[in-house]
A and B are shown apart, each in its own frame.
Chain A
Amino acid sequence: MTAVLDARGLGLRYKGGWALTDCTLSIPPGRVVGLVGPNGAGKTTLLNLAVGFLVPTTGTVEVLGGRPGSSLARVGFMAQDAPLYASMSTADHLKIGARLNPGWDDAYAARRVQSLGFDPAKPASKLSGGQRAQLALTLALAKRPELLVLDEPAASLDPLARREFLEQLAEAVAEREMTVVLSSHLVSDLASICDYLVVLSTARVQVAGPITELLAAHRGSTRSQSGLEELVLAYLSQGRRDETEAAK
């Protein structure tokens, strides 16, 4: 099986330094990938490179076997802070989805919005943070993508809305065949729905692999009963140690 996302030596430099360096990563299809790391670790950069919003300084990245942005209809993307047209209603947004996507599943979108129970005539600027995130997610899901990319989808939500959002995301993901890449700076967001983990810190990939394998290997080496949280923390502090040593 070919990788859904294949990055080789991927790097991006901006004015102040490197946002991402030497990222080599291969994500197999069908996975729900959690991309975790502290703020500023390069998560958004990696995702923006994957959807073609940024162009790499070094290396290459292929998405669904092609250049990022070349298969728009097959990739669903929900950007950070769920951008929506402030003056347009939920119904308008669904119409945008229907008009601009050949694979649009209108029945699914309508059903999903109805089950979420918010007024389809209300402009997006009057929706709550949770509703905005849900609407943006609906737009990304209803185009029936093979790859769904979500950049910090729950970051702006309060804890309750956050849990609700993630539960509904898990449901939607379970319903259909697709690969999901979702970033977060909170491990707890990812624990419930992801089966694959990429830890990013200080612009580098610290570790990537199926969660079960990572946990098994981690337990083996440290002989502790750590959960996912501790595993991630171990890799993050490892990354920081490497950084300080490199600085010396």
Chain B
Amino acid sequence: MTWLTWRQFRAQSSAVVGVVAVLVVAFAVTGPQLAHLFDASGLPSCVSGADCQSALTHFAAAVNASKVYPLLYVAGLAALYGMPAVLGIFWGAPLIARELETGTVRLAWSQSVSRVRWAATKVGLIALAAGAAAALLSLAVTWWAGPIDRAAALAGQGQGLGFPHRFMPLVFGARDVVPIGHAVFAFALGVTVGLVVRRTLPAMALTLAAVAAMQVVVPTTVRAHYATPAETSMALTLAPETPHSIFITDDTLEVSMPVTLPGDWITSIRAVDAAGQPFTGPAPQICISPTSSMADCDAAVNALHLRQLVSYQPADRYWTFQWYETAIYFVLALALAAFSVARVRRIRLS
């Protein structure tokens, strides 16, 4: 069964393997130079804030001076986010659906191998291949982007490179182990959809939609709940020379100051009043009056003694979150695979 699985897999795998190989080579070739820029910028040895700030500016300038680094940075993100969908569509969905569609299951199931072994071998081995391909690409991207990620974690708001650090939602799913879980899950999802729909093309379309939906839902609504967020608060004291934003409608006032927690993932920033209750308005009269100045409005807001409450996931939880999310994807993949194998056992061919 192993031989048949590889024999069938050979042709369809070559495109993905080719793209991964090209990217890995591109990262391997340019990576050492990027690491050198990081070392040469003085970032590894800087101690004081001002020193580090100037090193950071140096590094950012060096990275942005070449078009190659920003391009490869984005290519790495795109490849790791595109990979699960591609694996689900081209490896997962046709795996059993195409055999049902072309009738070759009748040949396969007429051999002396049970359907369960047939399905489990196919799903198991190719899930392994999907995980390995994702692991290889993620390893290359994570290693390559290491200097940029480290610099991004040092930078505060509006400083340095302008790239998000590795705990930020966009980057988190394209670093370290999460892409492996995601790839294996998307593959298993494709297999299951193919088995339920029984037709390759609709199964591919549905798989794409489902994988894309997961990629939006998980970072926006699920990930923040892996651990209770840490909280910190600061007085909302506005002054014309410090950056802040005020947004006023008829009876609401939204006010905030930028928060700098390098390397941490800030999940929410909200204003509370002196009693600790969420503050949404209304705005002081003077802020609405067309004749008053910005400074008058700031002073009126300061008089409310508001505080700013920040919920965040500290940077040292990065690996907990990585393992947690990977485990969730693996458990889901396992459940889908088990469901598929059980369903193959009961399938009826008319």
Contacts and interface: CB of A to CB of B under 8 A. Distances in A.
A and B pair up: yes
Interface of A: 14, 48, 51, 53-55, 72-73, 75-79, 81, 83-88, 92, 95-97, 99-103, 136, 139-140, 143
8 contacts: A53-B106, A72-B113, A73-B112, A77-B106, A85-B107, A97-B111, A99-B3, A100-B111
Given A54-B349, A101-B112, A86 B103 contact: no
Contacts, number: 68
Given A79-B103, A84-B104, A87-B11, A54 B348 contact: yes
B110 A79 contact: yes
B6 to A, nearest CB: 11
Contacts of A101: 111-112
B101 to A, nearest CB: 11
B230 to A, nearest CB: 56
Given A96-B4, A99-B3, 9 more contacts: A53-B109, A54-B348, A72-B113, A79-B110, A83-B102, A83-B105, A97-B111, A100-B111, A136-B107
B104 A85 contact: yes
Contact of B104 (A53, A54, A83): A83
Contacts of A102: 112
Nearest to B346: A55
A143 B350 CA distance: 24
Taking each of A96, A102, A140, which has the highest tally of chain B beta carbons within 10 Å of its own beta carbon? A96
Contact of B106 (A76, A83, A88): A83
A143 B111 contact: yes
Interface in B1-36: 1, 3-4, 7-8, 11
A14 B350 contact: yes
Contacts of B109: 53
**Range, interface on chain B:** 20 to 34
B114 interface: yes
Nearest to A82: B107
B103 A99 contact: no
A100 B349 contact: no
A99 B4 contact: yes
B110 A77 contact: yes
A78 B109 CA distance: 11
B349 A48 contact: yes
Given A48-B349, A53-B109, A54-B348, A86 B114 contact: no
B258 to A, nearest CB: 59
Contacts of A86: 102
A143 B349 contact: no
B111 A72 contact: yes
Nearest to A99: B3
Contacts of B107: 79, 83-85, 136, 139
Interface string B94-120: 000000001111110111111000000
B344 to A, nearest CB: 12
Nearest to B105: A83
Interface string B322-348: 000000000000000000000000001
Contacts of A76: 110
A76 B112 CA distance: 9
B348 A53 contact: yes
B8 A85 contact: yes
Contacts of B350: 14, 48, 54
B3 A95 contact: yes
A143 B112 contact: yes
B1 A99 contact: yes
Contacts of A81: 103
Nearest to A101: B112
A14 B349 CA distance: 12
A83 B103 CA distance: 6
Contacts of B3: 95-96, 99
A88 B7 contact: yes
A247 B20 CA distance: 66
B341 to A, nearest CB: 16
**3 A-B pairs closest in CB distance:** A100-B111, A73-B112, A79-B106
Contacts of A85: 8, 104, 107
Nearest to A54: B348
Contact of B114 (A72, A75, A103): A72
A216 to B, nearest CB: 36
Nearest to B8: A85
Contacts of A87: 11
A122 B296 CA distance: 86
A126 B248 CA distance: 73
Nearest to A53: B349
A34 B71 CA distance: 69
Nearest to B104: A83
A88 B10 CA distance: 11
